[in-house]
């Protein structure tokens, strides 16, 4: 169904964004001004010798590569992505997540035939569909899923605090300045007339 294809593509897109953010974060850490890759002196105590080590607190959000700014973006992205993924799984699974029979039900002689007929998917057996629904239930309805959800929200600290830290970075000021430049280039009377 096209609606489910769209939802699945959103999940795949979130995974791609997450991988991109993690790659950018690793790149920023490796290129942080505390330990630039270009520096060849790797003697103990040199800046290059500490390559890959998280920089000191004073440089977390500074430096030529932005320091740890992209890691902060990851901290902002994952809780929202996890919430979206769980909502998508709930929507796609709907009541099938709750009204899923057990493996014993599938093996019971009185209901085996009906379950095999009515639980199957377009291109999958009832058993395969049942395994998928059970896995989805683990994510959205069990204690494990609930703990994982809480972990994604709070593993990097208070989400509110993370947003405040990000707000205080140079990057937010750069984005604000870019928006102001665009506004300054537009004649307000012309914008009102065109609307």
pLDDT, tens digit, for every residue of 144-169? Answer: 999 988 888 888 778 787 788 778 77
Q: How far is CA 43 from CA 29, 47, 56, in A?
A: 20, 9, 19
Q: How far is CA 96 from CA 44, 78, 90, 110, 176, in A?
A: 59, 27, 9, 21, 46
3-state DSSP call for residue 90? helix
At 18, is the pLDDT very low, low, confident or very high (cuts 50, 70, 90)? confident
| pLDDT of the residue at 180 | 93
Entry field: residues in the chain: 195
Per the listing, tokens 């709750």 go with 98
Q: How far is CA 94 from CA 30, 121, 136, 193, in A?
A: 44, 15, 11, 48
Least confident residue range of 101-105, 181-185, 187-191: 187-191
- Percentage of the chain surpassing pLDDT 90? 23
Mean pLDDT calculated for residue range 114-125: 89
At 187, is the pLDDT very low, low, confident or very high (cuts 50, 70, 90)? low
Instruction: Tell whether the model's pLDDT for residue 43 goes beyond 80.
Output: no
Q: Exposed, middle or buried, 152 (CB in 10 Å: 0-12/13-18/19+)?
A: middle
Q: Exposed, middle or buried, 77 (CB in 10 Å: 0-12/13-18/19+)?
A: middle
Tokens for 24, please give them: 């950018």
């Amino acid at each position: 169904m096209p609606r489910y294809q769209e939802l699945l593509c959103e999940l795949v897109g979130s995974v791609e964004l997450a991988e991109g953010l993690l790659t950018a974060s690793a790149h920023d850490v490796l290129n942080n001004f505390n330990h630039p890759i270009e520096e060849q002196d790797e003697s103990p105590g040199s800046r290059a010798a500490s390559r890959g080590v998280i920089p000191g607190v004073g440089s977390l959000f500074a430096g030529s590569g932005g320091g740890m700014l992209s890691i902060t973006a990851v901290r902002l992205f994952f809780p929202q992505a996890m919430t979206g993924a769980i909502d998508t799984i709930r929507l796609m699974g709907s009541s099938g997540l709750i009204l899923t029979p057990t493996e014993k039900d599938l093996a019971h002689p009185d209901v085996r035939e009906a379950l095999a007929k009515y639980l199957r998917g377009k291109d999958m057996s009832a058993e395969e569909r049942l395994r998928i629904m059970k896995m989805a239930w683990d994510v959205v309805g069990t204690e494990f899923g609930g703990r994982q959800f809480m972990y994604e929200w709070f593993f990097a600290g208070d989400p509110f605090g993370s947003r405040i830290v990000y707000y205080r970075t140079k990057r937010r000021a750069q984005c604000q300045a870019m928006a102001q430049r665009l506004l300054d280039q537009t004649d307000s009377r012309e914008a009102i007339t065109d609307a």
